[in-house]
A and B are shown apart, each in its own frame.
Chain A
Amino acid sequence: MLQIDNLTTDLDADSGMVRAVDALSLTIERGETFALVGESGCGKSMTALSILRLLPDSGRVSSGSVRIADVDVIQLPESSMRDVRGRRISIIFQEPSTSLNPVMTVGRQITEVIERHTRISGEAALAKAIEWLGRVGIPEPARRVGDYPFQLSGGQKQRVMIAIALAAEPDIVIADEPTTALDVTIQAQILDLLTELQAAQGMAILLITHDLAIVKKMAHRVAMMYAGQIVEVASVGEFFSAPLHPYAVNLFQALPDTAKRGQRLASIPGSVPPLNQIFVGCRFADRCSNVMDRCRNHPPQLIDARPQHAVRCALYDQTNANDSAASVFAAAPDLPPDSPAGEIILDVRDYRVWFPIRKGLLKRTVGHVKAVDGVTFSIRAGRTLALVGESGSGKTTVGKALLQLLRNAAEISGSVSLQGKSLAQLEGDDLREVRRVAQIVFQDPFASLNPRMRVNEILEEGVASLCPTVNARQRSDRIAAMLDRVGLRRDALTRYPHEFSGGQRQRLAIARALAVEPRLIVADEPTSALDVSVQAQILNLLKELQHELGVAFLFITHNFGVVEYLAHEIAVMKNGKLVEHGSAEQILGRPQHEYTQSLLAAVPRLNS
């Protein structure tokens, strides 16, 4: 159906010519789901855009062919390419809120495709659009067809996007991270919908994702990409039961889950190499635990290590291809057991954060958005409380309000005490004194560090503000010690944040929070912007810190793998309320509340 041969895509970036996709070959059969999986920046999305010839202005396909039913679309003129897009091959993007036109009704957006590619038009096209809305599971399709995108929820928008992609009944659908922007329960629904539609339509799906669990749930075959190349191709069963490439093996070990509690996660050192260079050896050599001399100067070829299972690694270039790869890799060392829980650090009682809705000329308050509505929990020293919930459940608001960051924006009631001191009435120096106790680490390491400040200024700011008794020399000593603690070199001090990778920046953010010696760190999705291999590094670091310093974590997340690995206690939030709260074993093993059960059921898992 789709046959890609030696596809090579170059991008003219600020850092020079970047080879985003390097000699990629794959074939997809009718009715098959083929998953392209890899970390950010490995060339997955560029492959999709190359197939559709929708590359940015600075990119071009330098060589190779993309055949759809024996027509090479790379050679087609743009006018006939337009007949291919939508009719033969179409795409579902990641972000449903930006991939729909906000000023057109959803019906119009679907009929646009139908009228462009089929002979149906007018009333018939509208009827067809309503039929499609029904098929993608929008209730009351005849009524919703006149709705604008803002009237739909995120999951419904993605359903509409799927309807648009499928309206002209293409042979191939590219799904580029179709559920990354959605909550787990919605994600499960969308994935089920795709499977159903595939069964009905018989189209091929090229599924692009970074989430191995989704691959396992959805795909028939899988190709893993690294630094622009495919490093392993196999059927899903083979790939998950016996991965061959060291990168794949390491990734599986780096994924946090219940079974790995109390162990260190196997993290892959370093990060993906920049692609603006000419590689002489294996691209993974610098991070590989099994690196050999020949890896450094012989680029490995994609070879069939087993029937239907190709891998790009020198390990399997020998005769000993029968070796199980897992035996090659050492098991991760255990962490020392958790120290016993200490005194109560944070105590939250009946906490409410209501955002006023103001209307009219005088901005009178006409109502409230009850972001947090009566939450009660406590955290002991050296423990981790995971606050889980879907987007909009108020979990981030809890974290910010606890740190007194929302005082001016919202009406807050209930009590919070840190180490026995109530926070609500504190002002000025007293408040500053308490702020030392609780600090925050944010989700996006690119937004949480001021790009115009050097690392030492960033790290010093908190100490200078909260610990005025510390003089300048002690301050720089303390900062240098913090850098060592989070595993960064001291020459980082004079550099700017943009010179660091995402994982390194998250280390800086952690160092900044630690510099004032807090007892509690509110970690707001600290790893959700990071790749799996880097996530493992950060999770290991957090565990070590907790063990050494006895800090407590309020861990806000939607990632259940991380929760299962890290949390001592779990609190589940929905619509501003805690629906269930208890120890990790209890919540994960015997969830009582209906919502917790549905949440846990929706999480895609590797070992089920």
Chain B
Amino acid sequence: MPKLVFLATDLVLFLLLAGVAFYAWHATRTPTLRQTWRSVLHDATAMSAAVVLTVFLLLAVLDSVHYRPLLAPAEGAAADAAPAYSTKTLSLLDALLSGPRESREKTYSIPLGTHQFSKESMLVDGKSIRDFPRLKFGGAGLQNPQTDWAPDVISRSVTGLLGGALAAAALWWAVALIRAKSLAVPVGNSLRLIWRCQTDVPWRAILLTASVLLLIGGWIAALWPHYHVLGTDQTGNDILFNAIKSIRTAVVIGSFATLATLPFAIGFGLAAGYYKGRVDDVIQYIYTVLSSIPSVLLIAAFVLMIQVFIDKSPNLFETGLERADIRLFLLSGILGITGWAGLARLLRAETLKLTELDYVQAARAFGVSDFGIMRRHILPNVMHVVLIVAVLEFSGLVLYEAVLSYVGVGVDPSTNSFGTMINSARSELSRDPTVWWNLLAAFGFMVTFVLSMQLFASAVREAFDPRARAFRPQRKMPSQSKLAITAREQGR
């Protein structure tokens, strides 16, 4: 039985998931919230983005279940001796991807490469020559790489894509079948409705996105055991593996830092807008000062202090991973503490407006306490602002982490993150020939993630912001939805 390890960030991430689940439950029970979220559910772009985000989130969660494997009992140890655990902490994702994780090369190699990127002196038939050595793992099964490489890659790609296509087809069919059951129409009709976008939830967009992901997944699954799909970095680590591990860091930073801003932003924003006068002045001074200090400077100072603390108290942390994790955790907290000014300013303005509204006046006339008014009458009516800003800020913070790690005040160097990948690309791009795949991988993953988040956020904003709704362009003609109804009725 391995020993489960709960890192600080793991706990908070799971708490956060529980919080999201609770909110979802609450939203389904509240008619107004259900109405609003339904308009997000009916937005094709948002739902495609949600599919991508789900995959990212799933990878992050898999990477957040940590354990230390049980070591075989030492020879000659007593039968009742305490079990010994490895000093290396692994996550479920590490275990699933143990192949790529352990297939470490010596140094750079290009994506799908069979040879190292740089020449080395080798002894061939007793003579010392300088050449590109074969990789230990990448394309190791090939007898003659010059001739066998292309056919092998092509056949494996085709197999992988076929597998992905099959899985996608199965998914389409499963969704059509389930919808057919609930609508009591034949599966064929149900598929046709999905394909013609005549469903409330945009299933075609969802399924197309999922299909693309499955195709990519199938291709990777077929090739990864035999090649380094996105090449290797300076120390020979598989870059695709690094990139997948970086997802968790991005999710953790994005969500914790956003979460950490909320108490400050909500507390200060509401207080400033509600009490006005002196309280407002003080809070405004604080956030004006805060936002005029360069945040990189502030964060660098905080991070260095943390590093000193971690270095001085080695007994607190059992493994290197725990040390790195606490730095990640505190970094998110710092980002939160320094980043609340924007939201607080918005909430202050919104609260100023709300306190003048009649229902707040009515509550005052009823003698409701200040806290009661803020909790019952103001907070629920500014929550849409909080939600919109939180979702938008999430992606901003993911990008900010990359900037901080690039500058060197971000996460621990041993933690995989997009920022550290980009940081190492600094030297890679200045050498000749350039190593481009590391930066490209970080770039591709980060853009996919942040873009999905932004698209989702814009749909959320549109649903929750009543002003955005007024500017909605003309929707599709009503004849289409009528078609859907008639088609459904014909099916019956």
Binding site for B on A (CB under 8 A): 12, 14, 16-17, 57-58, 363, 400, 403, 405, 408, 431-432, 435, 438-440, 442-444, 447-453, 461-462, 465-466, 496, 498, 509, 512-513, 516
Contacts and interface: CB of A to CB of B under 8 A. Distances in A.
B31 interface: yes
Interface in B317-334: none
Contacts of A403: 365
Contacts of B469: 14
Interface in B73-102: none
B381 A451 contact: yes
Contact of B359 (A363, A408, A447, A496): A447
Contacts of B381: 450-452
Given A466-B367, A509-B362, 10 more contacts: A12-B474, A58-B474, A431-B367, A432-B367, A438-B365, A442-B362, A448-B357, A462-B366, A465-B366, A498-B32
Interface of B: 31-32, 276-277, 281, 357-359, 361-369, 372, 376-377, 380-381, 469, 472-475, 478
Contacts, number: 75
Contacts of B277: 408
A12 B478 CA distance: 9
B368 A461 contact: yes
Given A465-B368, A466-B366, A400 B361 contact: yes
Nearest to A452: B380
A432 B32 CA distance: 33
A449 B360 CA distance: 9
Contacts of A512: 362
Contact of B365 (A14, A435, A443): A435
B23 to A, nearest CB: 15
A447 B353 CA distance: 12
A498 B381 CA distance: 14
12 contacts: A16-B478, A17-B478, A58-B472, A435-B367, A440-B361, A440-B362, A443-B358, A448-B357, A452-B380, A453-B376, A465-B368, A466-B367
A448 B474 contact: no
Contacts of B376: 450, 453, 461
Contacts of B367: 431-432, 435, 465-466
Contact of A450 (B276, B359, B478): B359
A450 B361 contact: no
Across the A-B interface, the 4 shortest Cβ-Cβ residue pairs: A448-B358, A442-B358, A452-B380, A462-B366
Contacts of B369: 465
A461 B366 contact: yes
Contacts of A408: 276-277
A405 B365 contact: yes
A502 to B, nearest CB: 14
Nearest to A434: B367
A458 to B, nearest CB: 8
Scoring B277, B366, B368 by chain A CB atoms within 10 A of each residue's CB, the highest score goes to B366
B33 to A, nearest CB: 9
A498 B31 CA distance: 11
Given A58-B474, A435-B366, A465-B367, A496 B32 contact: yes
Contacts of A513: 362
A516 B366 contact: yes
B361 A57 contact: no
Contacts of A451: 32, 381
A7 to B, nearest CB: 20
Contacts of A509: 362
B359 A405 contact: no
A489 to B, nearest CB: 18
B475 A12 contact: yes
A607 B32 CA distance: 47
Contacts of B377: 450, 453
Nearest to A407: B364
A465 B368 CA distance: 6
A439 B358 CA distance: 13
Nearest to B477: A12
A55 to B, nearest CB: 11
A185 B367 CA distance: 38
Nearest to A518: B365
